[in-house]
């Protein structure tokens, strides 16, 4: 009888996903809406929270937290220059079907001490696992070099970032991490993921969404350019023509 109960309990806990342990994440964001205006020059997001417990803290291993922030994914083409007939030209290319336009991971300790490699592959936590270059088009044999280049270039531009030790944990209960979002942010929904680990075992996972949107004139221009491109084209030309005429007229007025 007790055996049957134990199996039932085990099945239930498996169905509920990660072990519904005594520790849970309660999370908050400094803002869940970022407006891109003409003055937009990057933004800082504070992700904070607490670990809620129903029983005393287990003394087995220290609490470790990973926080990731992922922007919308878009296809991207990676090209490589090759010396051909004495000149450097773009020859090889790999089309990556989908890569996050922004991806930052902050951890409370060196990543290797928090999760195993299999866990990383399963939840796609570190940068290389978060970018799946599935659609590597046929011509290239060393597509790995292209994914590395993608990561290198985006890291250089501040779009991909791994900050080990950037999550502060206070008294094994409160945590906080700040993310610097760059100015060249792509519009869309940004996914926040908070993962709670103890002894390389996932205790709880929480997700939040940050909405990044253009507003005001910026929004109107982007929408018009996309939806009424003929009107937008004519408008650009009218503005340019008028500016040219106005400049000539003003300078003539100044000189006379």
Residues in the site for another protein, rule: CB under 8 A? 36-42, 74-83, 86-90, 93, 95-96, 146, 149-150, 152-154, 183-187, 214, 217-219, 221-222, 225-226, 229-230, 232-237, 239-241, 243-249, 251-252
Measured in whole angstroms, how far is the alpha carbon of residue 91 from the centre of its chain? Answer: 30
Closer to another protein by Cβ: residue 43 or 108: 43
The least distance separating another protein from the CB of residue 219, rounded to whole angstroms, comes to 8
The least distance separating another protein from the CB of residue 40, rounded to whole angstroms, comes to 4
Closer to another protein by Cβ: residue 67 or 159: 159
Closer to another protein by Cβ: residue 5 or 87: 87
The least distance separating another protein from the CB of residue 106, rounded to whole angstroms, comes to 23
The least distance separating another protein from the CB of residue 142, rounded to whole angstroms, comes to 12
Residue by residue, what is the 3-state secondary structure of the chain? CHHHHHHHHHHHHHHCCCCCCCEEEEEEECCCEEEECCCCCCEEEEEEEEEEECCCCCCCCCEEEEEEEECCEEEEEEEEEEEECCEEEEEEEEEEEEEECCEEEEECCCHHHHCCHHHHHHHCCCHHHHCECCCCCCCCCCHHHHHHHHHHHHHHCCCEEEEECCCEEECCCEEEEEEEECCCCCCEEEEEEEEEEECCEEEEEEEEEEEEEECHHHHHHHHHHHHCHHHHHHHHHHHHHHHHHHHHHHHHHHHC
The least distance separating another protein from the CB of residue 247, rounded to whole angstroms, comes to 3
Greatest alpha-carbon span in the chain: 105
Closest CA to 72 of 191, 229, 206: 191
Closer to another protein by Cβ: residue 37 or 209: 37
Closer to another protein by Cβ: residue 10 or 237: 237
Closer to another protein by Cβ: residue 61 or 248: 248
The least distance separating another protein from the CB of residue 189, rounded to whole angstroms, comes to 16
């Amino acid at each position: 009888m007790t055996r049957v109960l134990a199996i039932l309990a085990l099945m239930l806990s498996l169905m509920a996903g990660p072990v519904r342990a005594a520790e849970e994440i309660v999370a908050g964001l400094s803002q869940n809406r970022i407006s891109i205006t003409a003055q937009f020059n990057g933004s800082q997001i504070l992700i904070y929270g607490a670990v809620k417990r129903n029983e005393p803290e287990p003394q087995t291993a220290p609490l470790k937290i990973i926080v990731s922030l992922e922007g919308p994914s878009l296809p991207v083409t990676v090209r490589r220059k090759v010396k051909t007939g004495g000149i450097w030209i773009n020859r090889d290319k790999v089309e990556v079907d989908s890569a996050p336009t922004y991806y930052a991971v902050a951890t409370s300790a060196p990543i290797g001490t928090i999760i195993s490699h299999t866990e990383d592959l399963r939840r796609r936590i570190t940068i290389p696992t978060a970018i799946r270059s599935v659609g590597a088009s046929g011509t290239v044999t060393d597509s790995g070099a292209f994914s590395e280049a993608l990561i290198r270039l985006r890291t250089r531009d501040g779009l991909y970032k791994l900050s080990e030790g950037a999550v502060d944990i206070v008294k094994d209960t409160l945590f906080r991490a700040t993310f610097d979002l760059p100015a060249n942010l792509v519009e869309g929904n940004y996914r926040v993921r908070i993962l709670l680990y103890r002894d390389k075992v996932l205790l709880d996972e929480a997700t939040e969404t940050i909405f990044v949107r253009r507003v005001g004139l910026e929004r109107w221009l982007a929408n018009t350019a996309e939806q009424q491109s003929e009107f937008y084209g004519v408008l650009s030309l009218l503005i340019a023509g008028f500016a040219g005429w106005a400049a000539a007229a003003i300078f003539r007025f100044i000189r006379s």
